[in-house]
């Protein structure tokens, strides 16, 4: 029983696959706009990002989405996000 516990221990620290991408996106938004969001406010569906944020902030992000995506691509070369909503 102890061997199983030791084997499963390494999986305890795993984060969801999109957790790192959310962190990079938050960094890109903060660097571009100076705004901060919570990771819980971000969700992905396919190649689209959905944000739960005030309308004014979403509009600002929409206006700067190209710059944010460029910054995000520089931070993580393996991202495939097409648009921010």
CA distance 40 to 29: 15
The enclosing H or E element of 56 equals helix 55-63
* 70-84 per-position pLDDT tens digit: 998 888 765 565 565
The enclosing H or E element of 49 equals strand 48-51
Q: What is the reported pTM?
A: 0.71
CA distance 9 to 41: 29
Are 17 and 68 within 8 A, CB to CB?
no
**What is the CB neighbour count within 10 angstroms for residue 45?**
8
* 9-53 per-position pLDDT tens digit: 666 655 566 788 898 899 999 999 999 999 999 998 888 889 999
């Amino acid at each position: 029983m102890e061997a199983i516990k030791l084997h499963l221990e390494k999986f305890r620290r795993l984060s969801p696959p999109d957790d790192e991408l959310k962190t990079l996106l938050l960094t890109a938004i903060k660097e571009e706009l100076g705004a901060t969001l919570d990771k819980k406010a971000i969700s992905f569906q396919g190649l689209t990002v959905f944000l739960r944020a005030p309308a004014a902030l979403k509009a600002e992000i929409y206006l700067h989405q190209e710059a944010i995506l460029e910054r995000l691509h520089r931070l993580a070369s393996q991202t495939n996000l097409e648009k921010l909503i």
